[in-house]
Copies of this chain bind each other. A is one copy, B any other.
Amino acid sequence: MYRTHTCGELRISDVGKKVSLSGWVQRTRDKGFMLWVDLRDRYGITQLILNEEETPAELLEKARTLGREWVIQVEGEVIERASKNDKIPTGEIEIKVTALNVLNASKVPPFTIEEDTDGGDDLRMKYRYLDLRREGVRENMIFRSNLAIETRKYLAGSGFIEVETPNLIKSTPEGARDFVVPSRLNPGQFYALPQSPQTFKQILMVAGFDKYFQIVKCFRDEDLRADRQPEFTQIDCEMSFVTQEDILNTFEGLTRHLFKTTLDVELPSFPRMNYDDALRLYGSDKPDLRFGMEFVELNDIIKEQAVGFSVFESAELVAGICAKGIASAYSRKDIDKLTDWVKRPQIGAKGLVYVKFEEDGSIKTSVGKFYNDDLLKAWGELFGAEKGDMLFILSGELDKTRKQLGELRLELGRNLDLIKPGDYKPLWVVDFPLLEWDEDENRFFAMHHPFTSPKKADIEKMMSDDHEILKGLRADAYDLVINGAEIGGGSIRIHDRALQSKNFKLLGFTPEEAEEQFGFLLGAFEYGAPPHGGIAFGFDRLCAVLKGQTSIRDFIAFPKNNMGRDMMIDAPANVDKKQLDELYLDLKEIKSGE
């Protein structure tokens, strides 16, 4: 037996007990006559004590050889500490060591196992087993484990069945790029790893499973941006005989349960906002509602005032936001900095117009040449601006300007400390467009995915050939947004073969392509498919949002870097030619630089 207790367990009430502990040496302090060792395991840290008077010389000598991260087992007696540490639960006791057994030595770690580590990203990824010893990373993993447990508790308690769908499926050119897996038993053919269990969960609905869920790995072979992983985890769900409202209510319930049980946070209400309003008011389909600053559109008043300021008067959109109470504090330098910020290529605005309503009633603005105080006051009224407030206005093409103003709003929210820590603002964004026009490829793509149902009222319009009408189609599709992060999304699905075929056609599939790729689903719709819909939550993202962190990588035990490499195991790697031969594959010559 390696231990009677863990390193996080002993208390003042245990004083006098003979115990044995095992763990890692966090640090040692040697005062000559006395030696302390902090012994660490997953559960905590317990202080060990040895002293010249009572500890046998040999034992003390052995203890002096211990280095950081050595694994040891000790026996001893729990005693009350002379100087207590109220920062740790075991801080009132220490262990007077009577025996010490080195279970494994350790080289000096390449970085410190502390919250504020001196290790860089690459080093920490290569030695991930050391990085995972750091309390914050370990706590993140434990949090993730708990979040999964609570997810399952809630969904199973609501009658959902967890069904495992296959990982070796079929590649489809629609959507993101698949990872493929050559089949040795079927020469020349390939499986694909699932980007989501979408079609399988719909099949389960056709099979009458009624309520399905799965916490499931998904795969996408995309060029990796920061904070995107080739394999990621979803909470995947599907329900039969439901409307959109049923699904929103069920998953509002799940989200409330998760916040309550893991963070003890009672979420506020989950308002619903349609997609058009989200773009119009926040310039984003995932608005951060932790602060206000809704957009105000000025096109009408600009047209009315007609002062001849062509930048505004010829713009497709003139819109702004109002920052409360900053007019006097916001300096010329601040304005210049912000103007530079919106002009960066990542944002791409041409310039930034401001209007300050000073406390003394005066108005300062960058467009004073064109607009007098009376005209500007009329703007202010539209914003509900009061003395001390400041407007920021952008203009240009509709979509671009909204996006830029949305970014500006978030930047101001951050800069002006409008976001309270621990504040959570959930939101359902609904009524997404069914189709999205791609200028480059000159075709429609599915905004959500090809199985999403149009709104009932829009089904007729799907028969139109008019692109403008088709762009206006709305779907029973919805996203859950919390604090400006998309937690998940879903839709009511098509369950009718003819309508699904029509949708495939709009997406540019020939009937043959549709049949080859999704024939099984179209076929299934002919054998009694119930109305159904579902949702998927990004589990990695959900973890990060709940913990108020921004990187999903900190919630994945073994993440890959931006080149899709696992730095610890050094994968991907070359494989034997024999293995490729068995798969009927040849490697093409790879030119250097590729």
Contact = CB atoms under 8 A, between A and B. Distances in A.
A588 interface: yes
Contacts of A133: 207-208
Contact of A565 (B186, B243, B564): B186
A565 B168 CA distance: 9
Interface in A561-592: 563-566, 568-576, 579, 581-588, 590
Nearest to A223: B185
A128 B202 CA distance: 12
A564 B231 contact: no
A226 to B, nearest CB: 15
Contact of A182 (B130, B180, B199, B223): B180
A584 B574 CA distance: 13
Given A129-B207, A168-B560, A170-B572, 5 more contacts: A106-B527, A138-B209, A163-B557, A188-B590, A584-B590
Contact of A186 (B22, B41, B186, B572): B572
Contacts of A435: none
Interface string A93-135: 0000000000111110100000000000000000111101100
Interface string A177-201: 1111111111111111100000110
A200 B556 CA distance: 13
A569 B199 CA distance: 10
A71 B525 CA distance: 11
Task: Output the residue of A70, A166, A192, A588 with the most chain B CB within 10 A.
Answer: A166
A141 interface: yes
A200 B230 CA distance: 18
A240 B40 CA distance: 13
A509 to B, nearest CB: 15
A46 interface: no
Contact of A165 (B199, B558, B576): B558
Task: Output the residue of A164, A184, A192 with the most chain B CB within 10 A.
Answer: A164
A585 B587 contact: yes
A106 B204 contact: no
A577 B508 CA distance: 20
23 contacts: A2-B242, A22-B240, A41-B210, A69-B528, A104-B530, A127-B527, A132-B207, A133-B207, A138-B208, A141-B161, A145-B162, A148-B162, A164-B217, A164-B233, A167-B217, A168-B564, A170-B572, A179-B181, A185-B223, A187-B594, A189-B573, A199-B569, A585-B585
A410 to B, nearest CB: 30
A173 B162 CA distance: 34
A564 B148 contact: no
A231 B565 contact: no
A217 B142 CA distance: 21
Task: Output the residue of A149, A182, A219 with the most chain B CB within 10 A.
Answer: A182
B183 A568 contact: no
A224 interface: yes
A570 B189 CA distance: 11
A431 to B, nearest CB: 20
A228 to B, nearest CB: 12
Contacts of A149: 152, 156, 162
A49 interface: no
B576 A2 contact: no
Contacts of A227: none
The 8 closest A-B pairs by CB, nearest first: A132-B207, A106-B528, A2-B241, A170-B571, A189-B572, A69-B528, A183-B572, A586-B586
A156 B167 contact: no
A132 B200 CA distance: 12
A80 interface: no
A529 B180 contact: no
A393 interface: no
Contacts of A528: 24, 69-71, 104-106
